[in-house]
Amino acid sequence: MIELPKGGLVIRTLLGNLQFGMPPETVKDTFLIEGGVPEYYIIPSQKFDWQDGINFMEFEFPVYCNFFIKKKVKTKLICTPETKKKIEIIFQETLLGPEDLSKFSNDFWENYKGIPQIEKELKHFAVNPFDPSQKLSVDLFIEFILFDKKMKAEINGEIEVNEEEYLEMVKEGLIGPENMDHVKRRFTKKKYLKFSR
């Protein structure tokens, strides 16, 4: 288990690194650790710390790193259905721009001649660099693993994340029992690692 300098926690599993929380610049913390930037992230219920001004859901750079640097690896985000909707909206905007551009020209003075052809530009860049016949979309980058009504989420049938706020071994040997007690203690103390309904 690795406590990251900028926040968040990485647990090594047979599926690879699994990270709790996604604070800013988390990629810098995980880039050089064994296993590298994780594919699996658990989005905490507290997504923003208003006191310290920290976003715990900075998913863009891990997603871009997995897709562009690791070549087409999808980032798996473990979250609630409500959080999934928010992430889809945010990532749609950051990746592809707004869906409705009908009022784009309202941002410029009347009769201004330098208005960019934004729709044409967005279409040009919204192409998968590994397969130019494929358009970019949120589901090309992200796979969502959703918590159910009991706040349980299963990861590839191997690991279960549940409402007691720790990883539960589903198959023996994924995470050593000695790590589990430590994980239980740590997650109940960390406010930004708690899950909510």
3-class DSSP state for residue 189? Answer: helix
Going by pLDDT thresholds of 50, 70 and 90, the confidence category of residue 100 is: confident
- Percent of the chain that is helix, strand, coil (3-state, to 5): 30, 20, 45
Is the confidence at residue 171, as pLDDT, over 80? Answer: no
pLDDT at 158: 65
Q: Is the pLDDT of residue 131 over 80?
A: yes
21 with 77: CB under 8 angstroms? Answer: no
Half-sphere exposure of 60 (CA within 13 A, CB side): 11
Q: What is the pLDDT of residue 162?
A: 60
Angle at 182 between CA 52 and CA 76, to 5 degrees: 65
How much is the mean pLDDT over the chain?
79
Q: Which amino acid is at 44?
A: P
pLDDT of residue 153: 82
Q: Which helix (H) or strand (E) holds 161?
A: strand 159-161
Strand, helix or coil at 125?
A: helix
The domain total for the chain is 1
Alpha-carbon gap, residue 67 to 39, rounded angstroms: 10
Residue 83 has phi, psi (to 5 degrees) of: -65, -35
pLDDT tens track for 66-95: 999 998 889 999 998 999 999 999 999 888
**Which residues contact residue 97 at a Cβ distance below 8 angstroms, ignoring those fewer than 6 apart?**
118, 122
* Residue 189: CB atoms within 10 Å: 9
What span, in angstroms and rounded, lies between the C-alpha atoms of 96 and 82? 21
**C-alpha R_g of the chain:** 19
In this structure, what token pair is assigned to residue 40?
A: 């699996």
Q: Give me the domain span that covers residue 21.
A: 2-193
- Residue-level pLDDT at 98: 82
